[in-house]
A = this chain, B = another copy of it.
């Protein structure tokens, strides 16, 4: 069995922002030199998400509206404040980001087949920052043979 581990760090200028990371995941898969296995892509913070979906700007705008409807928070660029949460009594202002993390999920597993990420034609991997403007880490871990 082989394994390979790589960490990425994000520091987005906006509170909330999408970052496409398919290429970084593919590079980790190549570096692992694994023919058959799995790649775990997992945020190491509790206020960020990882998901697989389409790289289409209209959809990303829909998604932003949707996460705000289901787990309301400040505007992505902080131009409007969000509702208060009990979590804010601990001195934080990111209660919404914790709920968005649970809504979207913080990890995906991508199968590796014949040495490549076995993704469908439109499947792209995204990191969804929900509370940026500071360094946040993500772990890529490949396992297989």
Interface residues of A (CB under 8 A from B): 1, 3, 5, 36-38, 40, 42-46, 51-54, 56, 58-59, 61-63, 66, 70-71, 85-90, 95, 98-99, 101-109, 111, 113, 118-123, 137, 139, 141, 143-145
Contacts and interface: CB of A to CB of B under 8 A. Distances in A.
- Taken together, the copies of this chain in the complex come to 3
B44 A120 contact: yes
Contacts of A109: 40, 42, 107, 109
12 contacts: A1-B144, A3-B36, A3-B37, A46-B52, A46-B120, A46-B122, A53-B102, A61-B86, A62-B87, A62-B99, A102-B103, A105-B105
Contacts of A106: 52, 108
